[in-house]
Chains A and B, each alone.
Chain A
Amino acid sequence: MSSVASEQLPDAAGRFGPYGGRYVPETLVHPLRELEEEYFRAQQDPGFQRELDYYLREFVGRPTPLYHAQRLTEDLGGAKIYLKREDLLHTGAHKINNAMGQILLAKRMGKTRIIAETGAGQHGVATATVAAMFGFECVVYMGAHDCDRQRLNVFRMRMLGAEVVPVEAGQKTLKEAVNEAMRDWVTNVRSTHYILGTAYGAHPYPVMVRNFHRVIGDEARRQVLEQEERLPDLLTACVGGGSNAIGLFYPFIEDESVSMVGVEAGGEGIIPEKHAARFQGGSLGVLQGTRSYLLQDEVGQIQMTHSVSAGLDYAAVGPEHAWLRDQGRVEYTYATDDQALEAFFRLSKLEGIIPALESSHAVAEVIARAPQMSKDQIIICNLSGRGDKDVQQVAEKVKM
């Protein structure tokens, strides 16, 4: 395993091995270069880092606890389970780590308008929040189907002063919202910064989003060493585009004793158009700026997807995940809708923590693995978001 090389990726062209790159219309090429230059300048600028750290601490609520889930551990009877409590962050999910980083960047670049796409609405809410905080105009694109199933977040964004644009094209979920955000950006690129919400898209987004989220793994690593005086045996995280997963995994990449599992959305099972597990039914392709694994048909049309969780319901996966999978560094599996729902209730009832449906996929993997591990082993599960937004959908689904 070439772990040292992994640390240095992506290369100057934004590539992780054969994945990544910058596949965009010409109008966006130069703006993306400017973004890249400004991002790397900011990354080297202690003033920028200080400002970001300040807002992450005082506004966002970092660090988040690494919490020992005692009853879940006892119930499963195997490995000791820790939850990285990103659900406790302001706005309710990890998404704000990246939104905060990017809004400070937008400020630096003198942009006046912010756009974003959102699936479950957590990235949209995080973006609307930081836009309100710094006085930016904000437009969020959200699939019309997602607007229905995550209505609470639509209200939150509007209350925060953002304009939410329901996207009616295609299957009316995250992929179509990204298309529409790209169309807006290509039209208004001089005034507008696009706060892309996951470790996906054209360079520099995958590396930038990863770096804004690596705080999750940096904290978790420090915390587990403090609390257990050793590294964990296993990390689990759900993977839509893959931002919370790469944020947790990245700082552990060099720790060869630490296994990692990314959990995709298995939907109703691995049947075309019934899931969003790109590493199960997908193949190499180019979509929305990058080269990675996609769910597509034999001629390259993008397939429909399904997941109970809007945030994982997406046809492509971040390029760095494709690379880590090729390297054998991270294993990717999936949880079905039913497994995720079971995990949702189990964590709620045993720990008093209602997880987001997305994060429930990572919990489902803990439920599958912990019993097979010994009691002196340690799992860290990224609890990337809280489930308030899902309460209505789940209640309707199980007829509570």
Chain B
Amino acid sequence: MLRPVNRIDQRFQNLREQNRKGFVAYIGAGDPDLASTEALAVRLADSGVDILELGVPFSDPLADGLVNQLAAQRGLASGTTPERLLETVAAIRKQSNVPIVLYIYFNIMHRRGLKEFIDAAAAAGVDGLLALDLPPEEADEYEQLMKEAGLCSIWLIAPTTPEERIAAIAARGSGFIYYISREGVTGMRQDIVSSLDERIAAIRRHTDLPIAVGFGISNAEQVRQVAADCDAVVVGSAIVNQIAEHGNAPDLPERVGGFVQELTEAL
């Protein structure tokens, strides 16, 4: 059976043809509630977002800084279960073709059962998973199931990842490689690391996959700066912060959309 091309691959192909860089936006699902997530997703897709990362709220987000921790708390408080989140993805799918990646802690899918979770995610219209605390060494079964479901396994590469490991990870990746621009948790930073170009070059020696860079990027200047070295830029906490600030405003999607538009226009 011929599998339809994954939306992530399709999007990067379009970007390449248009000679553009991609913009990946992260928001916490269910923050402040899932209806807002649906509206935000559609609005962000119209604001120049190429890939949407939805954070699945988890009680113990140990890779996240305070901004995203609080978003996860709000998500849990609004009753965001993985099942309801996938229903929301299905609802977004009826209105938009924006590629969707779930940013997830492994226990959530482990609890449901890997196959069941991955199949349900694919059926809902998810395009890829980024499992924060699942290194490739622990992921044989996961990868197999992801392939069978036609989902991209997005792997992280960090500043501490040595080159032989970069090669091993890159060989297993699909969709894109997510390079974490610095050691640390998610969150906004004032400055951007200087050696980014060298690290990206090291990854490129081992893969033709597009490379997205994230962690700490929060304004248009940084977006422009980072985009020069890679294929896509990820902005998370800065957007989540906007949601935290305007969560109760009736025009939340417009406000956040406006903020994101300024960032995507920097590309």
Contacts and interface: CB of A to CB of B under 8 A. Distances in A.
B184 A186 contact: yes
Interface stretch (B54-62, B204-212, B235-243, B248-256): B54-62
B185 A187 contact: yes
Interface in B18-66: 58-65
A22 B135 contact: yes
B110 A26 contact: no
A302 B65 contact: no
A112 interface: no
A30 B161 contact: yes
Name the prevailing secondary structure of the A interface residues.
mixed
Contacts of A298: 111
A175 interface: yes
B64 to A, nearest CB: 8
Contact of A287 (B107, B134, B138, B185): B107
Given A26-B180, A27-B159, A30-B161, A301 B63 contact: no
Nearest to A296: B111
Interface stretch (B9-17, B76-84, B94-102, B259-267): B76-84
B157 interface: yes
B236 to A, nearest CB: 14
Nearest to A21: B138
A98 B159 CA distance: 30
Given A187-B184, A299-B82, A299-B112, A30 B160 contact: yes
Contacts of B88: none
B160 to A, nearest CB: 5
A284 B110 CA distance: 9
A273 B158 CA distance: 36
Interface residues on A, range: 35 or more
Interface residues on B, range: 35 or more
B133 interface: yes
Given A287-B107, A299-B81, A27 B59 contact: no
Interface string B97-121: 0000000001111111000000000
A155 B138 CA distance: 41
Question: Which of B109, B110, B161 counts the most A-chain CB atoms under 10 A from its CB?
Answer: B110
A25 B161 contact: no
A285 interface: yes
A189 interface: yes
Nearest to A301: B59
Interface string A384-397: 00000000000000
Nearest to B157: A26
B165 interface: yes
A333 interface: no
A286 B62 contact: no
A60 B232 CA distance: 54
A49 interface: no
Given A296-B111, A301-B76, A26 B60 contact: no
Contacts of B184: 27, 183, 186-187
Question: Which of A21, A25, A28, A296 counts the most B-chain CB atoms under 10 A from its CB?
Answer: A25
Contacts of B134: 23
A271 interface: no
B218 interface: no
B137 A286 contact: no
B121 to A, nearest CB: 14
A29 B180 CA distance: 13
A159 interface: no
A25 B103 CA distance: 12
Given A26-B156, A30-B160, A188 B59 contact: no
A285 B107 contact: yes
A302 B62 contact: no
A21 B169 CA distance: 18
Interface of B: 58-65, 69, 76, 81-83, 106-112, 132-135, 137-138, 155-162, 165, 169, 180, 183-185
12 contacts: A26-B161, A27-B160, A27-B180, A27-B184, A29-B137, A30-B162, A187-B185, A285-B107, A296-B107, A299-B82, A301-B76, A302-B107
Q: A-B pairs with the 8 shortest C-beta distances?
A: A300-B111, A27-B158, A187-B184, A26-B156, A301-B59, A179-B62, A182-B62, A300-B108
Given A25-B62, A25-B132, A189-B160, 5 more contacts: A26-B161, A27-B161, A29-B137, A30-B158, A285-B110
